[in-house]
Amino acid sequence: MTVLRKRFIEDMRLRGLAPATQRSYLHYVTQLAEFYHCSPDRLDREAIRQFELYLLQERRLSPESINTFLSAVQFFYLVTLEMPWGKDCFPRLRRPQRLPVVLSPEEVERFFRHVPGLKYRAALMCCYGAGLRILEAVALRVSDVDSARGVLRIRHGKGGKDRYALLSPRLLAVLRAYWRALRPRGEFLFPSWRQGRHLSAGALSQACREAAQLSGIAKRITAHTLRHSFATHLLEAGTDTRVIQALLGHRRIDTTARYAQVSVPLLAATRSPLDALPHAAPPKSRPPKPARSKPTPPKPRPQPPQPPQPAAPR
């Protein structure tokens, strides 16, 4: 490991970046160095710009991936190398605003009937029943289940924040049935086959894809789709947006408010301003004019018989 690479990793740890973020940042900075076959501390802003164009035009990466690359190089050059550049030197790509995919309650029931294995079913039910992210669900510990208070404790969620999530009676019954059947050992509620590790997010994602395929639902279903469905169904049930924000762990309320755009019953129950206008008399319609019939031509009068003409003399 080079000195620069070690310093980069240490800076990310000191600032509390999540392990997944650290791996992503290290991946993109390594790709930048391999593209130019030199150390990244010898590159300038134009080299970064050309590599960004390469990612966009040649490799056709999504705006989200390119923005992650920009965050990685911004951290590397501004924090680790302490370059005298501003954040405006790393302009972000505009991301298209897409509505999240949401399942109906009937589709949720149908999906769970096809989840293979009791462990995977219980973990995915935590994603829907408590609105957890996939990494939060697989990292649950046995001590995080507070059945007396009806909550789940989420440790080190997104942004390193702890919070409490909803533990419904039905989800508690599912977790208890799972516990009695498998008796998982160790501190994690969903342990891995590796000693001292929890179930991997990749394994749970694979189980989710298999269940979606077996269920025959045409929508694209991931573990995050279950989280979207949790928030949307709570909103349709009349739960306050602030409560949903706290349960999901959103930092901004506008992130939670977007679920109102995908709630069809909520949109249908909204009154249009057109209905609030005073009732004016509808315009009177004129009765249709009768169609004119073509006049019948008069019958020719019979002519009187003409007297015979005398024959001309010979």
Q: pLDDT at position 135, please?
A: 92
**Percent of the chain's residues with pLDDT above 90:** 58
Return the exposure string of 126-162: e unless at least 16 CB atoms fall within 10 Å of the residue's CB, then b: bbbbbbbbbbbbbbbeeebbeeeeebbbbeebeeeee
Give the residue among 35, 44, 100 at the shortest CA–CA distance from 77: 44
Residue 73: CB atoms within 10 A of its CB come to 21
The model's pLDDT over 64-105, given as tens digits with 9 standing for 90+, comes to: 999 999 999 999 999 999 999 988 889 888 877 777 889 999
Tell me which of 227 and 271 has the higher pLDDT.
Answer: 227
The model's pLDDT over 273-309, given as tens digits with 9 standing for 90+, comes to: 656 667 655 556 666 666 665 666 666 666 666 655 5
Tell me which of 172 and 307 has the higher pLDDT.
Answer: 172
The model's pLDDT over 108-155, given as tens digits with 9 standing for 90+, comes to: 999 999 998 899 999 999 999 999 999 999 999 999 999 999 999 998
The single residue listed with the structure tokens 């995050």 is 224
* Enzyme catalytic residues: 133, 158, 224, 227, 250, 259
What are the chain's domains? Answer: 3-89 (1.10.150.130), 105-267 (1.10.443.10)
Q: pLDDT at position 158, please?
A: 78
Q: pTM value?
A: 0.70
- In terms of residues, how long is the chain? 314
